[in-house]
Structure 1
Amino acid sequence: MVNEKDALRLQSPVKHIGVLTSGGDAPGMNAAIRAVVRKSVYHGLRVSGIRHGYAGLMAGEIEEMDLGSVADIIQRGGTKLYTARSPEFLTDQGQELGVAMLQKHDIDALVVIGGDGSFRGARALSHRGVRTIGVPGTIDNDLPCTDYTIGFDTAINTAIDAIDKIRDTATSHERTFVIEVMGRNAGDIAVISGLAGGAESILIPEAPYDMDQIIDKLERGVERGKRHSIILVAEGVGKGMKIGELIGQRTGWEVRVTVLGHLQRGGSPTAFDRALASRMGAMAVDLLIQGETSMMVGIKGKKMIATDIDAALDSMREVDLSIYELAGILSI
């Protein structure tokens, strides 16, 4: 009698799955890779890792993986498969070369772990007949159709830890600090870490800000005896250094600026990111076994979902402005 696991393998339209990471790295990508590999092996499917994203795909940097290939990586930041950006893959010639490499290695499906640029590459391959599933991996949390992306939780915890440390020295020296966080054109990192870190003001690209109001809040704080403040700036707003210079010019105070930068991308992923990545990677394999393609894995509430990748890329991701407004109220 054929058991359920073997039945799924026999019915699966895919026999060999490739997995790659592309774009900016995010903590938890390794956990997603591990899930894709082990879920594939569990179902008796072949699985290969593609190094250096789409650039590595075109170059044929493809190696078959097994259970041991992903041992002891769930707790590691970065990506075991490395990552790269590839302008060449945006061209028809680059995409045709990618398809040819997959065919050469008998890979009939691909799991792409990355952000919106990576998903556009996955969509292009799906339009060329390659079964593809996208797994959202980016600290920016800027993809629609999912509450969280892999790496976001770790990034905000890294940011909060830095804010707490900077507040200690800001208190000691009675200074105002401007802290610039990542997020590209999204303000999620700034909003959540600003709320959790007690920032006095948060500047995000999704909401207009009034420098007069920011200065007024700072000066009112000084009048009531407050001797330090934290201004959090999302990189999509502009350079933290310029914001700091402007505040200093307007107030005459000594303002210090810290740019957290790529510090937010590194480090061991949180338990939340490890679990999320594991669930998403496993679901990607399940979708391929079920014959799905050109889909994006996501999470809404506690439920895992799948969305058409075209619909996802054509949608707009919006920051929760109610959280932004709450942060402003609590920082009065």
Structure 2
Amino acid sequence: MRGFEGLLDGDFRPLGARDVGGIIHRGGTILQTARSARFMEAEWQDRAAGNLLGAGVQGLVVIGGDGSFRGAEELRKRGVAVAGIPGTIDNDIAGTDLTIGFRTAVETALDAVMRLRDTASSHDRLFIVEVMGRRSGFLALDVAVAGGAEAVIVPEVQFALGKLIDRLHEARRKGKTHSLIVLAEGVMPALDLRDRIQDTAGYDARVTVLGHIQRGGSPCAVDIILASRMGAAAVEALAAGKSGFMTALKDNTIDLPVLSVSWETKKPLDPELMRLVEVLGL
């Protein structure tokens, strides 16, 4: 329970078939999770490994991002068999085409964007929608393409205010009376962007920050199926004696690359989707 914090405190509970029955459509995690400053230190990593081995745990499945996988690697070095399953709405883990939670977050954010589209068109307004993504723009990009946004602003691409203003002007010249900008939170706060646009071009923009609503709710079918496939693959591989791997979706096939792939390489945005925003947004 409670992620790495639970490992340090020996907070282990057996789970039977009845304990996990009926949870496939639930969001969040029944195991709970927590950030752990203690686990960053070697002595606490030793303790966590000792607790696991002492409890007779034959394999540990860690669900999360590259930070969680680095923690799993430390446990592997201490004799614990580990597997990683990529779970993050950011979809920024290298080695896998898709992470658990991403598609659900896209659908959740897109639902809000389409509702905002309705009011934007009714009132001839410019809307800025801030979505999650401190260091990556995968979520913002997918939402922008699916929502027909006039522009998307992501950490991977250098922001240029002049280029954005030119694009908004061009949209107006082509007869668009309302516009939508999707902004990844890691670039700048949406309110700052609104002020810069208003000061430079005079557009009265409205801001919506979706925040943690993107992290909750029942998972979509894509995520349910992906989680089921990855979970089964991780357990089967551990049972076969494998360790130090992550489950990954590559060309719709489950692969098992080493954990270090997740932090040794940076996953790039799809340039085709970036181009589509440019083409379809005007």
TM over 0.5: yes
Cα distance in 2 for partners of 1:312, 1:291 equals 21
Which residue is 2:46 aligned to? Answer: 96
Pick the aligned partner of 2:90 from 140, 148, 164: 140
Name the SS of the counterpart of 2:79 in structure 1: coil
The 5 A counterparts of 1:65-144 are 65-144=15-94
One-letter code aligned to 2:271: L
Q: Does residue 264 of structure 2 align to residue 294 of structure 1?
A: no
- Residue 241 of structure 1 corresponds to 191
Cα shift at 1:80: 0.4
Q: Does 1:199 align with 2:174?
A: no
Structure 2 equivalent of residue 155 of structure 1: 105
Residue 225 of structure 1, CA deviation: 2.9
Q: What SS does the corresponding residue of 1:63 show, helix, strand or coil?
A: coil
Match for 1:305: what amino acid? D
1:264 paired to 2:264: no
Deviation at 1:136, TM superposition (A): 0.4
Question: Map of 1:38-57 to 2, 5 A cutoff?
Answer: 51-57=1-7
C-alpha separation between the residues in 2 aligned to 1:197 and 1:313? 31
Distance 2:218 2:182 in 1: 24
Residue 236 of structure 1: how far off its partner (Å): 2.1
**Hey, what does 1:185 align to over in structure 2?**
135
- Per the alignment, residue 159 of structure 2 pairs with 209
| Residue 210 of structure 1: how far off its partner (Å) | 2.1
Shift of 1:95: 0.5
In 2, Cα distance between equivalents of 1:289 and 1:181: 39
Task: Using the TM superposition, give the Cα deviation of residue 188 of structure 1 relative to its aligned residue in structure 2, in angstroms.
Answer: 0.5
Structure-2 residue corresponding to 1:44 = none
CA displacement at 1:242 relative to structure 2 = 0.8
SS at match of 1:64: coil
The AA in structure 1 aligned to 2:26 is R
Q: 1:209: Cα distance to partner? A: 3.1
Match for 1:63 among 3, 8, 13?
13
1-structure distance, mates of 2:267, 2:173: 39
Residue 223 of structure 1: how far off its partner (Å):
3.0
CA distance in 1, matches of 2:79, 2:207: 49
1:172 to partner: Cα distance: 1.6
Segments of 5+ residues of structure 1 without an aligned counterpart are 1-50
Give the fraction of aligned pairs with identical amino acids, expressed as a percent.
44
* Alpha-carbon offset, residue 158 of structure 1: 0.7
Deviation, structure 1 residue 176: 0.5
Helix, strand or coil at the partner of 2:188: coil
Which of 226, 229, 234 does residue 276 from structure 1 map onto? 226
Q: Write the distance in 2 (CA, Å) between the matches of 1:101 and 1:268.
A: 33
Q: 1 CA distance for matches of 2:223 and 2:179?
A: 30
Structure 2: tracts of 5 or more residues without a match: none
* Residues paired across the two proteins, number: 282
Alpha-carbon shift at residue 181 of structure 1 (Å) = 0.7
2:205 to 237, 241, 255: 255
CA distance in 2, matches of 1:218, 1:318: 26
1:232 matched to 2:186? The reply is no
Amino acid at match of 1:160: L
Q: Confirm or deny: 8 A CA contact 2:137 2:269 kept in the other structure.
A: yes
Q: Deviations over 1:125-183 (max 9, x none)?
A: 00111100000010000100000000000000111111101111111221101111112
Which SS does the other structure have where 1:205 is aligned? coil
Distance 2:135 2:169 in 1: 29
Match of 1:46 in 2: none
2:66 and 2:262 in contact (8 A); partners too:
no
Question: Alignment RMSD, CA only?
Answer: 1.1
2:260 match: secondary structure: helix
Distance 2:153 2:174 in 1: 23
Q: SS at 1:147's partner residue?
A: coil
Aligned residue identity for 2:246: M
Structure-1 separation of matches of 2:256 and 2:173: 53
- Deviation of 1:249 after TM superposition, in Å, equals 1.3
Q: Does 1:172 align with 2:122?
A: yes
